[in-house]
Structure 1
Amino acid sequence: MTSTDVRNEAEDSGPSGYAAARLRLLTEGARSGPPRRTALAELTDDWLSGLFTAGAEVPRGASLVAVGGYGRGELSPRSDLDLLLLHDGDDPKAVAALADRLWYPVWDLGLALDHSVRTPAEARRTAGEDLKVQLGLLDARHLAGDAALTAGLRTAVLADWRNQAPKRLPELQELCVERAERQGELQYLLEPDLKEARGGLRDATALRAVAASWLADAPREGLADARRRLLDVRDALHLATGRATDRLALQEQDQVAAELGLLDADTLLRQVYEAARVISYASDVTWREVGRVLRSRAVRPRLRAMLGGGKPAPERSPLAEGVVEQDGEVVLARAARPERDPVLPLRAAAAAAQAGLPLSLHAVRRLAATVRPLPTPWPAEAREQLVTLLGSGQPTVEVWEALEAEGLITRLLPDWERVRCRPQRNAVHIWTVDRHLIETAVRASEFTRRVGRPDLLLVSALLHDIGKGWPGDHSVAGEIIAKDVAARIGFDRADVAVLSTLVRHHLLLIETATRRDLEDPATVRSVADAVGSQGTLELLHALTEADALATGPAAWSSWRGSLVADLVKRVGALLAGDEPDEPDAAAPTAEQERLAIEAVATGSPVLALRAQTEAPAENPAAEDPEPLGVELLIAVPDQSGVLPAVAGVLAVHRLTVRTAELRALDLPAGVEGSVLLLNWRVAAEYGSLPQAARLRADLVRALDGSLDIAGRLAERDAAYPRRRGVVAPPPRVTVAPAASRHATVIEVRAQDAPGLLFRIGQALEDEGLRVRSMHVSTLGANAVDAFYVTGAEGVPLPGDEAASVTRKLEETLRA
């Protein structure tokens, strides 16, 4: 059925016919796109025009006007109908009757309606008072009635807008900035608002308004296509949800992708991000031009008076060869010849970032259109300019985005295409892969004084996640890509080896520090073997911190920094020739011995809490050092079930375990009995820590069986908020080979949840294993916990027994 057939069906059957025709168009028509939106707008136009002329005589001097999105013909399946009933004020009663005849059928069909009834003078006055009303009227479109009345209003509103542009455009820009602060940037959000987020449909509409002012105009290349893509996604979202929503929630993304004929949700998000990036960049350029024009208007009269009426030439300050500053932007010098100077894009970008100035749109486009490719390997100047650009701090981001908007980045680094606009589906990462790489370089620029080779640090920051565009382990894939890229941009063989090592092992320090026993010499040796030299270790330490800081707030803390610094210190000592000692049973401290003797004397647990609030000196970059947690010492007469009991009590009290060690303690001569000592670091999930007396009382009850921990945690789990439609990946339990000579290291990766450590501890207890220590790492919703376990005799598990334990533990966690 064609759109004409649908419209004829609607005309034949009145309101019910319109509803049926509308449903048929949305369910049996083409996929989301401009033709369907146009057909829906035309269908609605015809229906409303029929309502306008039906029944009683239409009053003279009245017209029906579509405004806002409906005025632009951008009707999504659940869009509001933005309507203005315009009249000359001669017959208020007739206008009121006409309004009833129009509005009630719309409401009866359950359609959202944003309506107003005004005279032209009232409409102009309201527009002058309310910027959003004025923006809606800029897209006014005549539907029915007195066309001259509509045309007169439209002409007057456009004239008002152009006359008031110097005042109203700054107001509009402020609205855009406030909205961006509330909603975030569309190109980085996992659940973006297609309309309100920065780079969304609201910003595209704002650019239309700027163009209508005749004061400035947006870069038009790709802008219409970006707007169309976002509208297509919104259409599919409305059909998938049956609601008037602009929020692209996780649980709807697969269905929306299928509606659009896309491969999967990642492909959908990538298209959304690409569209948002086009709109965001156009917004940046446009608002910069608006500011320039407004400043020049304010300054020009004074300059003309000073110069006797002459027009001053803009000042041009040289920044680098072929690069100058003009009017707050970086432009190409008049003598610049991009077609003869392949290094010019990098030189201009580095100069702009160093000066903290934007690259002009004209300059970037001229470079993209005329510059020759760099030879392979790059000349030394090109490599140096890239390093300068990466080391310029926060201004690097805006300059990089300008180069990327015109395709220059992928021409310089073809491997960039695979990570461009690539989403990262976890709560820890706040950026897409490509933006994360640039943010890591920005963070690394703060650490260049800490390393001997800042160029290698900055380039490794740019490349460390470059393998995320390929299947498999991104670190392994990234190592291969990094070797190729480093050689192409002119590093020698030794530097290429260092860069590939940094990319291959960029997660080594943080994963080892948070998941392995640093007292175990095998841990330190494994890192030293992978790193190979003091210089590489120094670079890897800085890269680790930069990477974590650029990931998001959940990825770095004073506690993580202290663990990494401790590991680096131990590995550095080993590389310097200082062999680590084999771990011995450390002599108990006076406090530990006191707790142990009291536990034996009373036959019950004894515990102490001690806050640790100072950040370590090894982490000087930490701003406002956060508490490292609270040290919890527990001495318990040796018995079964200690680990699950302690983990369960802490979970009931909403305490997060960061590190944990459990060992049998040798008592002083003359003291009979056996005591287990638990030295754990914990932090309160909410509020303040509970009193030690309450923890002890509940621990006593947990050990004697009178406290039903499993039941308490099950009640909380039932009330634990879960996002509808989101299914967590299944848990995975593995044995880390050769991680320790003294214990078997079992690594558990699972969705973090209250009582997870309790369930793991109970399962290990049921297998008759002893837990020597455990190392807890939580990133967002994911927990990665490592358990150093032995059999009852205190030795590592045989291979087959370890494999059996991991299978059973995984089955327990899946249940």
Structure 2
Amino acid sequence: MTTRAEIIADYSLVGINACTALSDATDSWLVEVFNNAVDGEKNKDDIVMLAVGGYGRRELAPHSDLDILLVHKNVKNIGDIASKMWYPIWDAGLKLGHAVRTPKETLQLCETDLDTATALVTARVIVGNHQLGTEVIRDASTSWSKRGGQWLIELHTRILERYAKDGEVAFLLEPNLKEGLGGLRDIHALHWAVMAGLELSLEDRTQLVRCNEELLKIRVALHRHNARANEILRLEDQAPVAQLCGYPSDDALMASLAEVGREVAWIADEAWARLDPPANRSPIPQPLAPGVQLINGEVRLDDEVNIADDPTLLLRVATAAARLRARIDRESLNRLGELSPVWPDPWPAGASDDLVALLLEGAAAIPVLESLDQRNLIVRVLPEWAPVRSKPQRNAFHRFTVDRHLWETVANAAELVDRVARPDLLVLGALFHDLGKGYPGDHTEVGVELFHTIGARMGLSESDQNIIRLLIQHHLLLADTATRRDLSDDATISMVARELETTVVLDLLHALTESDSLATGPSAWSQWKSELVSLLVDRSRHVLGGGDVDEILWRLFPDASVLELMAAGDIAIRTEKDR
């Protein structure tokens, strides 16, 4: 019999195959443990051991907890028998989630406790009285099917809490494979929901199986690499995990994981939206824009709209959805994905205004942009977007992939438009400031070059293009200068004023700097940094307004140059008392 240790050490077994083999080996071992514990007991036929949770699904990762339920028919000494089972497991160094209950107690908990109810949905018999175990599992499944509609409300609430805590698998640089949005727990929850009556298409079910296998492959490799249970794929673990999984690089691993996370999140979002429809749903069509209407709380395309001859239709749909905080219905998205053309060069008249209108919706635009990207529609508008899609950033300060970082920066910028003269240029600068990160070379220089082509294609005026290029070129200027240079040095202030040319650009860059930093991560923007940047901006504004730099600077006395002269004996400092 192959042991657990042998399977964990056998790196030829990966993903679901490793999980299944490990589950089977654990079963065989627990059969021995069980039989030893009940040996000589008169009522041993009144006991059954069930695998629940992930173990019940036969998805044990190398260092997963063992979740076991011992069910008995009022066996008086069940506590002593159970202890004989638990101690060998603990002695083997395994974490054990265990419970001992009668069938009645089990069913009562299934009706009142969500964790128990979901754990038993995928339970299976390991050893003992199979008839007893089968009856308990059947009754628990029946209870779930009958009460599932009520449970799904609580389940959805927990899911939303989990998203807020653990973020998204597709966009975090260090994603939680199990609890993050688009991770394994979402797949489990969808399975539970299906057993409670939710309908999923064959296509969705097939995709979930594929995504589950990919996530398990990465999870197994992560457990093996760390030699312990771990669900967060840290930056330092990504290269070795990629090698264990057979990816050519850590970037390839993270790109694949991002695609899986996107797919699971998309299916989950659509499914939960059907279970929790919007309060404003009405079957009466409400026109929103040419070819676009609101029906049952979702933004939909008119049946007769000509998608192939209307490139900007997708932006009208997206802006309407963001403005109403509504979803684009799935059929409409599929139609857009199948029929929307690649945008021409130059863009259609007014198209850049349509893009700005969407971006100015701020955070509400992010899920809409994600839905467009899920159907490969962003690259039809902006082909230069492809290299930054799902691209990780090898920097501990950054929290998001490049594409999500750009969207988050835009959302932050949309909150600051009252501080600038040109809100349109602010959100466009936010969208494009890191686009060069998808290409070889210095990302700032590459980004400026990319925008030469993009700006002309968008039909922007030369002056507007120049401002956005300045924002891209100098998007790090204020933060770097404020935190690394002497703000009492007139050369520092004069340099910033010279580079930015006008107060319009200065204000835009100030807002972009804050938006970019907030989108980077919690450690990238602080009160101290904000005050330094504001001080630099205020002093630069004075110079750009025609003022003398010396009017706003103070100098430490004696400064470094005076101290140097004093040390050489070339200058002496005397006070009034020295006279």
TM range (shorter): 0.7 to 0.9
1:355-754 matches, within 5 Å, as 355-557=324-526, 559-572=528-541, 574-575=543-544, 580=549, 667-669=574-576, 671=578
What letter matches 1:160 in structure 2? Answer: S
- Residue 354 of structure 1 deviates from its aligned partner by 1.7
Whichever residue aligns with residue 230 of structure 1, its letter is L
Q: For each residue in 1:75-100, what CA deviation from the matched residue of structure 2 results, as whole angstroms up to 9, or x when unmatched?
A: 1112222233344x27x269778756
Change (3 A) 1:29 1:436: closer
From the superposition, tell whether residues 197 and 522 of structure 1 become closer, same or farther in structure 2 (CA, over 3 Å). same
The answer to whether the 8 A contact 2:488-2:554 is kept is no
Answer yes or no: is the 8 Å Cα contact 1:368–1:406 preserved in 2.
yes
Instruction: Select 1:26's aligned residue among 2, 5, 8.
Output: 8
The Cα offsets for residues 558-583 of structure 1, whole Å up to 9 and x where unpaired, read as: 55445444444554555555564599
State the partner residue of 1:168: 151
> How far is 1:289 from its partner?
1.7
Greater displacement, 371-380 / 357-366 = 357-366
Structure 2 vs 1, CA of residues 114 and 402 (structure 1 numbering), >3 Å: closer, same or farther?
A: same
Q: Using a 3 Å threshold, how does the CA distance of structure 1 residues 116 and 578 change in structure 2: closer, same or farther?
A: closer
Out of 275, 285, 294, the position equivalent to 1:316 is 285
In 2, distance between residues paired with 1:580 and 1:641? 27
Q: After superposition, what is the alpha-carbon deviation per residue over 1:49-84, rounded to whole angstroms, capped at 9, x for unaligned?
A: 466668669954654432210111101112222233
* Count of residues paired in the alignment: 570
Aligned with 1:284: secondary structure?
helix
CA distance in 1, matches of 2:339, 2:125: 46
- Which residue type is aligned with residue 203 of structure 1? D
What is the DSSP-based 3-state SS (H/G/I as helix, E as strand, rest coil) of the residue aligned with 1:338? Answer: coil
Tell me the residue number matched to 2:103: 120
Matched, 1:129 2:36: no
Describe the SS at the equivalent of 1:83. strand
Aligned with 1:259 (options 244, 258, 272): 244
Equivalent residue number for residue 272 of structure 2: 287
The alpha carbon displacement at 1:345 in A equals 1.4
Contact 2:543 2:549 in 1 (8 A): yes
Q: How far apart are 1:325 and its partner, in Å?
A: 1.7
**Match of residue 328 from structure 1:** 297
**For structure 1, which segment, 169-178 or 525-534, has the greater mean C-alpha deviation from structure 2 after superposition?**
525-534
Matched-pair contact (CA < 8 Å) for 2:8–2:62: yes
- Measured at CA, do residues 167 and 666 of structure 1 come closer, stay the same or move farther in structure 2, by a change above 3 Å? farther
Q: Any conservation in 1 of the 2:173–2:398 contact (CA below 8 Å)?
A: no
Judging changes above 3 Å, is the alpha-carbon distance between structure 1 residues 127 and 583 closer, same or farther for their aligned structure 2 residues? closer
Q: Could you say if the C-alpha distance between residues 579 and 97 of structure 1 is closer, same or farther in structure 2, counting changes exceeding 3 Å?
A: closer
Task: Identify if the C-alpha distance between structure 1 residues 112 and 669 changes in structure 2 by more than 3 Å, giving closer, same or farther.
Answer: closer
1:203 alignment partner in structure 2:
186
Matches of 1:529 and 1:103 in 2, distance apart?
73
Q: Which residue identity does 1:240 align to in structure 2?
A: H
Higher share in helix: 2
Report what 1:39 is aligned to: 21
Does the CA-based 8 Å contact 2:490-2:553 persist in structure 1?
A: no
Report SS of the residue matched to 2:429: helix
102, 127, 135: which one pairs with 1:152?
135
Select which of 290, 307, 312 maps to 1:338. 307
TM-score under structure 2 normalisation?
Answer: 0.86
Structure-1 separation of matches of 2:349 and 2:414 = 20
TM-aligned CA deviation for residue 384 of structure 1: 1.7
Instruction: Give the alignment's TM-score, normalised by structure 1.
Output: 0.63
Q: 1:433 Cα shift? A: 2.2
Q: Is the alpha carbon distance of 1:401 and 1:667 closer, same or farther for their aligned partners in structure 2, counting shifts above 3 Å?
A: farther
Cα offsets for 1:574-627 (capped at 9, x unmatched): 5555564599996x9xxx8xxx9xxxxxxxxxxxxxxxxxxxxxxxxxxxxxxx
- 1:361 CA drift (Å): 3.0
Question: Which deviations, in whole Å up to 9, do the C-alpha atoms of 1:690-747 show, x marking residues without a partner?
Answer: xxxxxxxxxxxxxxxxxxxxxxxxxxxxxxxxxxxxxxxxxxxxxxxxxxxxxxxxxx
Q: 1:53 to 1:427 in 2, by over 3 A?
A: closer
Amino acid at match of 2:499: A
Pick the aligned partner of 2:322 from 353, 363, 387: 353
CA 347–150 in structure 1, closer or farther in 2 if over 3 Å, else same: same
Kindly indicate whether residue 124 of structure 2 is the aligned counterpart of residue 141 of structure 1: yes
Task: Specify the alignment match of 1:741 in structure 2.
Answer: none
The answer to whether the 8 A contact 1:357-1:395 is kept is no
Amino acid at match of 1:537: L
**How has the CA–CA distance of structure 1 residues 563 and 81 changed in structure 2, closer, same or farther, with 3 Å as cutoff?**
closer
1:242 is aligned, of 214, 224, 227, to 227
Amino acid at match of 2:309: R
Task: Quote the Cα distance in structure 2 between the aligned partners of 1:80 and 1:524.
Answer: 59
2:578 corresponds to which letter in structure 1? Answer: V
Quickly say closer, same or farther: Cα 1:666–1:584, change in 2 above 3 A. Answer: farther
1:461 to partner: Cα distance:
0.6
Deviates more, 1:515-524 or 1:115-124: 515-524
SS of 2:125's equivalent in the other structure is strand
In 1: Cα distance, 2:68 partner to 2:256 partner: 32
Would you say the 8 A contact 1:216–1:290 is kept in 2? no
* Paired amino acid for 2:367: E
- Structure 1 runs not aligned, ≥5 long: 1-9, 11-17, 300-312, 597-633, 643-663, 673-815
Question: How big is the shift at 1:458?
Answer: 1.2
Deviation at 1:388, TM superposition (A): 0.6
The separation in 2 between residues aligned to 1:396 and 1:44, in whole angstroms, is 48
What's the Cα RMSD here?
3.7
1:2-17 aligned within 5 A: 10=1
Over residues 395-454 of structure 1, what are the superposed CA-to-partner deviations in whole Å (9 max), with x where a residue is unaligned? 112211222223222333233233233333445433332222112111222333443432
Question: Quick one: distance in 2 between partners of 1:531 and 1:488?
Answer: 24
Report the structure number with the largest CA radius of gyration. Answer: 1
Q: Give the distance between the partners of 2:109 and 2:517, measured in 1 at CA.
A: 50
* Cα distance in structure 1, aligned partners of 2:102 and 2:566: 80
Question: Alpha carbons of 1:382 and 1:113: their partners in 2 closer, same or farther (altered >3 Å)?
Answer: same
Change (3 A) 1:486 1:206: same
Q: Is the CA contact 1:59–1:94 (under 8 Å) kept in the aligned structure 2? A: no
Greater relative CO (CA pairs within 8 A, separation 6+): 2
d(CA) in 1 for partners of 2:155 and 2:136?
A: 21
Aligned partners of 1:160 and 1:585: how far apart in 2? Answer: 76
Distance 2:162 2:572 in 1: 59
Unpaired runs of at least 5, structure 2: none
Residue 353 of structure 1 contacts residue 389 of structure 1 at CA under 8 Å; is this kept in 2? yes
CA gap of 1:558–1:122, structure 2 versus 1, over 3 A, is closer
The residue aligned with 1:699 is none
* Bigger fraction of residues in strand: 1
The code of the aligned residue for 1:235 comes to V
- C-alpha separation in 2, matches of 1:538 and 1:24: 63
**How far 1:350 moved relative to its partner?**
0.9
Report the Cα distance in structure 2 between the residues aligned to 1:64 and 1:150, rounded to whole angstroms: 8
Q: CA deviation at 1:268?
A: 4.0
Contact 1:169 1:210 in 2 (8 A): yes
Give the deviation of 1:367 after TM superposition: 1.4
- Partners of 2:260 and 2:443 in 1: CA distance: 26
Distance 1:98 1:77 in 2: 27
The aligned residue for residue 214 of structure 2 is: 229
- Partner of 1:339: helix, strand, or coil? coil
CA gap of 1:453–1:368, structure 2 versus 1, over 3 A, is same
Per the TM alignment, residue 133 of structure 1 is displaced from its structure 2 partner at its CA by: 0.9
Are 1:521 and 1:582, in contact at CA under 8 Å, matched by a contact in 2?
A: no
SS at match of 2:385: helix
Q: CA deviation at 1:390?
A: 0.4
